[in-house]
């Protein structure tokens, strides 16, 4: 499974997000390998379809299904919706759901 965290250098949520993703990978018995990708410029943000820092992708899919069709790429902070509250960290539930989705697809041979 390909796991990426895209970020910009001064993002205060990068470390906690990487740790949260690692914990969820471990709880699912998966390798804790995460590719961290630093985005340095607006041009890189556009080329990488970077929706803000931190952006988490599993097998190329944004972990937030509602964000998968957005095109407002740029060097900004990212927030995630958890219930009715926005947070700079993706929830454990959001991470867990995409991991389970991707594991199910891999098991059924449709990944």
- pLDDT reported for residue 53: 98
d(CA 71, CA 50): 9
- pLDDT reported for residue 103: 87
- pLDDT reported for residue 39: 98
- Per residue in 16-43, pLDDT (tens digit) is 999 999 999 999 999 889 999 999 999 9
Number of domains comprising the chain: 1
Q: Give the Cβ contact number of residue 85 at 10 Å.
A: 9
Q: DSSP characters for 14-39?
A: HHHHHHHHHHHHHHTT-----EEEE-
Q: Give the Cβ contact number of residue 105 at 10 Å.
A: 12
Q: State yes or no: pLDDT of 111 exceeds 70.
A: no
Give the H or E element holding residue 42.
helix 42-47
Mean pLDDT value of segment 70-83: 93
Q: State yes or no: pLDDT of 109 exceeds 80.
A: no
Range of the domain at 88: 3-108
d(CA 27, CA 65): 22
The mean predicted confidence, pLDDT, of the chain is 93
**Is the whole-model pTM more than 0.95?**
no
């Amino acid at each position: 499974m390909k796991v990426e965290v895209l970020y910009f250098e001064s993002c205060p949520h990068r470390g906690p997000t990487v740790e949260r993703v690692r914990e969820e990978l471990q709880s699912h018995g998966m390798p804790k390998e995460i590719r961290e990708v630093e985005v340095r410029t607006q041009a890189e943000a556009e080329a990488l379809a970077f929706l803000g820092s931190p952006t988490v992708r599993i097998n190329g899919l944004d972990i937030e299904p509602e964000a998968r069709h957005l095109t407002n790429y740029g060097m900004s902070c990212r927030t995630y919706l958890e219930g009715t509250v926005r947070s700079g960290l993706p929830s454990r539930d959001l991470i867990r759901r995409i991991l389970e989705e991707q594991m199910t697809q891999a098991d059924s041979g449709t990944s």
